[in-house]
Structure 1
Amino acid sequence: MTIATLFALYVSSGLGVGQMSMLKETIGETRTSETFRTIKKIVGITLTVEAIGVLGYYLSWGHMFDDNGTRLFYSVFHAVSAFCNAGFSVFSNSLADEANVLNYGVNITTMFLIVIGGLGFTTFWELIKGNPERKIRTWQFSLHTRIVLIATVVLIVGGTVAFLALEWDGVLAGYATSDKVLISMFQSITTRTAGFNTVDIGSLGVSTVLVFLGLMVIGASPASTAGGMKTTTVSVMLIAVWSTITGKNKVEFAKRTIAKDTVLTAMSVFVLVAACLFIFTFALTLTENLPFMDLLFEEFSAFATVGLSRGITPALTDAGKGIIILSMFIGRVGIVTLALAFAKSRKSTKYTYPTESVIVA
């Protein structure tokens, strides 16, 4: 979308009002007038952060390569892959080989790139410049940024602690305590749609796999390079549930009221994602004769565009691979975007039907 818009900007007279409005929603901008400026910021942030990543990798791999050209190529490739949450590695075993698994420079650089890419461009820019909604730029962040930061920290810390506790005597056995913490934090971060690994995913226990399923389906944040259901979607759903439990008639957080449309959109995303995961996993059980937990992991990983696998991908039938391909496509395009593309437009009405209660619990 960014590249297409820049192309339209420089080779034509610009975009129409409808196209600008759609693009504004896509990149997470609240003001149409700021759309093109935001897109230019996206390009600048991407190149700058990836350049920092290249430097980090280049310095970390000084002992591995005799040829500086190869070393630079590996650095550039992994910097782009990590920032874009792609998870592709030039190494045959991702980053799980002996030279990388405990290389602090490689681990920290990768985690830095994944987190920055997953925060979302609007959030990252607000961290740099302050809240754009205020006349005087301050670091009293917008509600969106606060939710993103809180959710990101909770998921990273929660995932790290869970992995550390569940795999202490499992895949982490034999490592020093500091190394166990590093590996656990890396896996907690990369599981949320980045797709790198420093341990054998197929050796993880069932409990750890269940934690990974949750991290994968949540994913990162809106307007980012990552996939998943998004941190804000889950956060708004949980806030809405808490508001219902506490008897509030509005969804409130941090002395702000969350718009009803936002809550309904979050609910729609949650239901549609759950339905797709159920349908595609059920389809895989019909086409594949493989362990259910492996199929479930494969589907969650594909839909959230993570790329991790428990080693069954080559064993999938053509039909199974087709299901995984479709899952990746829908997950990357976005379930709501796809639904709206096929939905019939509805004209606004000037009347309201009578309200009637329905027993739901």
Structure 2
Amino acid sequence: MTVFAGLFDLSKWSPPRFLVCGFAVIILLGGLVLSLPVSSAQGTSLRYLDAVFTATSATCVTGLVVVDTGTYYSIFGQVVLLLLIQIGGLGFMTMATLFALVLRKRISLRERMILQEAMNQPSMQGIVQLIRRVFRYSVAIEAAGALLFTLRWSLDMPIGRAAYFGVFHAVSFFNNAGFDLFGEYHSLTTYAEDPMVNLIAMALIVLGGLGFVVLADLLEYPKSRCLSLHSKIVLCMTGILIVSGAIAVFAFEYGNTLGPLGGTGKILASFFQSVTARTAGANTVDISALHQATLFFVIFLMFVGAAPGSTAGGIKVTTFATLVGGVHAMVRGKDDIVFFRYRLARGRLLKALTITMLAMALIAAVTMALCVTENAAFIRVFFETVSAFATVGLSTGLTPDLSDAGRVLIACMMFAGRLGPLTLAYALGPKSEKELYRYPEGKLIIG
């Protein structure tokens, strides 16, 4: 009995376990609401498995769907999805903290520890102030995006519908969710050559993927005239990955999916696919028609993802930069990883290696399982698995045709990707104990 008492005693839960269970409860409740007839445009009940899959995709800000968002769900269902996206993007603990601050409740030490884990921060110092900034930045950016989208789409549809579309897609794109209302899984393919739609969407995706710490640094830059090491690495890696991704898409798809587009359209589409692969999930070209070389490069972009503490997924650009820095240091015979004249602690490299290896192991295991349960080409299965883990939402069209077992596997991947493999390991593993001794150093031949 004492074991079960400890299991359900929330005060004894570690922050990772609290986060995992909190997200799980939100997903199960969201799935229950989405399965109700009121959530369907036709007044029919959605299978609970499919509803939970969709709730997982929304809460984990992914965008993979088994039914079309724009045509299947009623306005009520779409609003529920929007709330799940916002909660999932900012984090349920962030939302709960905001309500507590409005009600002038005190934020306890335990709650600050959970917030630190949720926001992936190195310390609790200034965590409540960061939450306030997160809310202000999110509201301001989403409102600006919604207004600009409304102005553009008011040319194509009634102003009320344009405003609704503007709000929905601004929230979806800023939170890197990838859900859209254009129907028939078309996403933004109709606007492939529209500069305004492309630039607004890309700006929202990039801002959401930079992370709130970087956004705060950028806003403070006019006064401070300096950026943190974290912000410098995130901005540099983001720029490098976006440009290299655009060049690769342009080169591989010039005579394929980009063929029907004009010169400006080709450039816009190349950059948009590069940006959206950083865990956004919207697309302006048919993903299922991409060459295998393009799909493979997009898989790499999805796996890397965006910045820590953002609305995006993947192993994160800082993790990838640390790995690259480690390789560079080893090749040049250096002992330290140095960025912008700052040395990284060895623990950073070990954490980066751990996150990457756990992610690769999880992706490999689920890909092999899906190859058994699904009758599809390997590249499509691999693409869908990485898209789910990195909470991207791009799809070659496999997700709606998944078996029940496949849907469970992909839903688990989205859940693991949103929380992070290391957080899951901490939540599910036994409580660590301090080592009282060290073993003698051994010799091992490497390479």
Deviates more, 1:183-192 or 1:24-33: 24-33
Q: Which amino acid aligns with 1:321?
A: R
Per-residue deviation, 1:10: 5.3
Q: State the shift of 1:248 in Å.
A: 1.1
Per the alignment, residue 282 of structure 1 pairs with 368
Q: Which residues of structure 2 form unaligned runs of 5+?
A: 1-92
Q: Helix, strand or coil for the counterpart of 1:252?
A: strand
Q: Which residue in the other structure is 1:317 paired with?
A: 403
Kindly provide the CA deviation profile for residues 188-237 of structure 1, in whole angstroms up to 9, marking residues without a partner as x. 00111100011011110000000110011111110001111111111111
* CA distance in structure 2 between the partners assigned to 1:264 and 1:22 by the alignment: 23
Is structure 2 residue 189 aligned with structure 1 residue 103? no
Aligned twin of 1:119: 210
Q: CA deviation at 1:308?
A: 1.1
**Counterpart residue type for residue 273 of structure 2:** Q
* 333-342 or 23-32, larger mean C-alpha shift: 23-32
Which residue pairs with 1:24 in the alignment? 116
Q: In structure 1, what is the equivalent of residue 128 of structure 2?
A: 36
User: Percent same amino acid at aligned positions?
Assistant: 39
Report how many residues are paired. Answer: 353
Residues 229-249 of structure 1 deviation map (CA, whole Å, 9 limit, x = unaligned): 111111111101111111111
Name the CA distance, whole Å, in 1 between partners of 2:124 and 2:404.
Answer: 44
Pairing of 1:1-361 with structure 2 (within 5 A): 1-9=93-101, 14-65=106-157, 67-92=158-183, 93-97=186-190, 100-130=191-221, 138-349=224-435, 351-361=437-447
SS of residue in 2 equivalent to 1:64 = coil
Return the alpha-carbon distance in structure 2 between the equivalents of residues 95 and 268 of structure 1: 36
Alignment TM-score, normalising by the size of structure 1: 0.93
SS at 2:126's partner residue?
helix
- Indicate the structure whose relative CO is greater, using CA pairs within 8 Å and at least 6 residues apart: 2
Contact 1:236–1:266 at 8 Å: present in 2 too? yes
Residues 192 and 268 of structure 2 are in contact (CA less than 8 Å); yes or no, is this contact kept in structure 1? no
Report the CA distance between 1:101 and its aligned residue. Answer: 1.7
Q: Which moved more, 1:19-28 or 1:52-61?
A: 19-28
- 1:283-302 alpha-carbon deviations (Å, 9 max, x no partner): 00111111111111111111
For the structure 1 residues 277 and 18, does the alpha-carbon distance in structure 2 shift closer, same or farther, using more than 3 Å as the test? same
The residue identity in structure 1 corresponding to 2:200 is T
Counterpart CA distance in 2 for 1:127 and 1:44 is 15
State the TM-score, normalized to the length of structure 2.
Answer: 0.76
In 2: Cα distance, 1:245 partner to 1:226 partner: 31
Query: In terms of mean alpha carbon deviation, does 20-29 or 44-53 score higher?
Result: 20-29
How far apart, in 2, do the equivalents of 1:254 and 1:109 lie?
32
Unaligned runs of 5+ in 1: 132-136
Cα distance change, pair 30–285 in 1 and its aligned pair in 2 (3 A) = closer
Task: Report the alpha carbon displacement of residue 118 of structure 1 after superposing the two structures with TM.
Answer: 0.2
Q: Match for residue 134 of structure 1?
A: none
SS in 2 for 1:257: strand
Deviations 1:271-328 (A, max 9, x none): 0000000000000011111111111111111111111111122221111111111111
The alignment partner of 1:102 has SS state of coil
CA distance in 1, matches of 2:446, 2:103: 54
Secondary structure, aligned partner of 2:283: coil
Q: CA RMSD in A?
A: 1.7
| CA pair 179-288 structure 1, distance change in 2 beyond 3 A | same
Q: Distance in 2 between matches of 1:105 and 1:215?
A: 24
Separation in 2, partners of 1:264, 1:323: 28
